[in-house]
Amino acid sequence: MTLKIGITSLVLAATMFSCKQEQVQEDKKIKEELVEMKAEGFNHMVEQFADIKLLRYQIPGFENLTLKEQKLVYYLTQAGLAGRDIMWDQNYRHNLKIRKALEHIYTSYEGDKTSEDWLAFEVYLKRVWFSNGIHHHYSNDKLKPEFSSDYLKTVLTATKTVLEGEAFDVIFNDKDAKKVNQSKDVDNVALSAVNFYGPQVTNADVEAFYKKKTSPNPDQPLSYGLNSQLVKENGMLKERVYKSGGLYGTAIDQIVKWLELAKGVAENKAQGDALGLLIQYYKTGDLQTWDDYNVAWTAATEGNIDYINSFIEVYNDPLGYRGSYESIIQIKDFDMSQKMAVLSENAQWFEDNSPLMDAHKKKNVVGVTYKVVNVAGESGDASPSTPIGVNLPNANWIRAAVGSKSVSLGNIIFAYNNAGGSGRLKEFVHDQEEHDLETKYGQLADKLHTALHEVIGHASGQLNPGVGETKETLKNYASTLEEGRADLVGLYYLYNSKIQELGLVDDWKSVGKAAYDGYIRNGLMTQLIRLNLGDDVEEAHMRNRQWVSAWVFEKGKAENVIAKVTRDGKTYFNINDYDKLHDLFGQLLRETQRIKSEGDFEACQTLVEGFGVKVDQAIHAEVLERNKQFKSAPYSGFVNPVLVPTTNVSGEIMEIKVMQPISFENQMLSYSDKYNFLPEEN
């Protein structure tokens, strides 16, 4: 049962009364239609277009938080959204200009809205919204509009909208074709459209610039390049730092404003101190402060609320230096966290019993905390397309000395699993036994693999003394190597009686078999539905799933560990020997850790290029043909719930309600209206 209401005025932020008073927000009045949805009969599906499926998620447990905790969630969510446009500009230099022009057309055009051109325009705009820019969120290819440049000129004129020059032309031409170009033996920086580097900056420039940087403490290397854009001015390389008063300063000031409010309602001193350091980092851009913050944030494990906010993951940088802006606000799922914390408690056992060389094992795995959380809001690189698990911080020395936090996004995973099946499973499984294993154990296997990947995988292993950070040694292959290594840790232990001994499963062999079936099926076949025929695999996670699967398939051929079966003109991959496959996963894990520990670029390049990049074209064509019968889109993402505060006459928040946006476009337009803190060019 849903109740549709109109919210004509939302409380959104503007005036600070005093250090003791709540901030009252009164932004320009807008109309945002929201719905209130009860848990029973909750409708996860929003809409589907192109290759995208939009879903909703609930926030279980929000109603059980105290008002102070709800305020903390609200302030942190607003801080995250305040930086939303940073991600758009990071993704491509013309994104904000293009988005604002397209949105103005969308909201003011009064012509024929039933024509094929207009419908194609709507789909293109939604794809741009979903990707935070004009490049596909996963493949990195530039999105291709199915309307002409003449049509766009027509609707621009009709709505008195200005979009011209390079920003107009790039929508239709072949320039800036890849957001992130990870190809071998090319200038990855020069050929990537991502806005982390200025024109004329090359791979060699970046490597030379950071080679000269030395950290005050070599054992605690600073994350040089994480929060800046590298440009050339008068032939000289220069960093434009993301900070208050610097690049993206107007949006960062808004983030800081909300973080200060969040600090005022922190659950405990450790959480408040960490927020204070994050605020200081945003104000100064100082990378030592960033490390100090990460140490404090990692140690702040008490409380019901946690968050991720800043420039963090480096997947969008072809050389792995610069962090994309993201925000995820989390509420602890008490029941599931208690069940899964057993992994953290046994992290040392997993390390000691791994197939790694002894020199590459950590003697003391410290501070690994694992929680299942429910997301209360996401922004930047985490929205609309979201991860399902996160392990931070990324600095190897902090992981070794202090530990890390691992979370599984429980309500996101629940929404994925309950948004309706597609029937693809039956098409691509080899036989009924494989189908039944996946049906019965697949969700549990996926959940455990995510947990093992994040908690044990990313925390496992150590670099050899004197070996630099992986972004320096493994360069453009660093991200896919690390993700594959963590996947392999999960795969190795999923087929192990230890997980049953720990009470995580009732039948470890069946869960392990389901996990192995699903991984090989996806890595060698089903993930190919996300690529156009003829494309190489570019995205780091897709690459790692393919090189892991293809390597064990190739190495197990002599003993027919995995059989490639053709039946009725269709291809299947059937695992004949799960025990031997387990051993192969262990061998590959040992080798990937060696590569990382020794910084062996040549071996890493051979592994990734040899098994992870090129696609079997016959298999790919077959997979695409078999997939045509299914209407469900291959990619999913989410609209965010809207937290709606009610205030008294003094501006104090008295209650916060969780509402749902009525549509994707309504939320996107609302965000553009409320969180429009950056100019079109930065």
Give the alpha-carbon dihedral of 108, 114, 115, 117, to 10 degrees: 50
DSSP string, 36-84: EE-STT---EEEEETTEEEE----TTGGGS-HHHHHHHHHHHHHHHHTH
pLDDT digits (tens, 9 = 90+) for 307-324: 999 999 999 999 999 999
Q: Where are the beta strands (DSSP E) in 199-339?
A: 228-233, 236-241, 305-311, 325-332
CA distance 361 to 138: 33
pLDDT digits (tens, 9 = 90+) for 71-115: 999 999 999 999 999 999 999 999 999 999 999 999 999 999 999
- Written as one letter, the residue type at 51 is D
The SS3 assignment for 632 reads coil
pLDDT band, residue 6 (cuts 50/70/90): very low
Between the CA of residue 571 and those of 101, 453, 623, what are the distances in Å? 46, 29, 9
For 655-673, what is each residue's pLDDT tens digit?
999 999 999 999 999 999 9
What is the rounded distance in angstroms from the CA atom of residue 176 to the CA atom of residue 315?
Answer: 18
Strand ranges of the sheet holding 325-332, from the earlier edge strand across to the other edge: 305-311, 325-332, 368-380, 404-409, 389-392
* Best CA proximity match to 509, nearest among 563, 565, 433: 433
pLDDT of res. 536 = 93
Which SS3 state, helix, strand or coil, does residue 647 take? Answer: strand
Q: How far is C-alpha 640 from the chain's CA centre? A: 15
Residue 30 pLDDT greater than 60, yes or no: no
Whole-number Å distance between alpha carbons of 154 and 342: 61
Q: What is the mean pLDDT of residues 335-361?
A: 90
The number of angstroms, rounded, from the C-alpha of 574 to the middle of its chain's C-alpha atoms is: 31
| Contact (Cβ atoms closer than 8 angstroms) between residue 671 and residue 84 | yes
Cβ neighbourhood burial of 186 (10 Å; 0-12, 13-18, 19+): middle
Is the bond preceding residue 384 a cis peptide, omega within 30 degrees? yes
> Do 279 and 310 form a contact (C-beta atoms < 8 A)?
no
Burial zone of 289 (CB within 10 Å; 0-12 exposed, 13-18 middle, 19+ buried): middle
* Residue 367: pLDDT band with limits 50, 70, 90: low
pLDDT at 19: 36
Per DSSP, 172 falls in state T
pLDDT at position 422 is 54
Assign 31 a pLDDT band (cuts: 50, 70, 90): low
Which residue(s) pair with 32 in the sheet?
7
Kindly list the domain boundaries of the chain, sorted by start residue: 2-56+639-674, 93-134+143-169, 333-635
pLDDT of residue 344: 87
Token pair, residue 529, equals 């539905």
The backbone torsions φ and ψ at residue 237, rounded to the nearest 5 degrees and listed phi first, read -80, 140
Structural contact between residues 615 and 535, judged by C-beta atoms closer than 8 angstroms: yes
The DSSP output letter for 469 is -
pLDDT value at residue 4: 25
The reported pLDDT for the residue numbered 630 is: 86
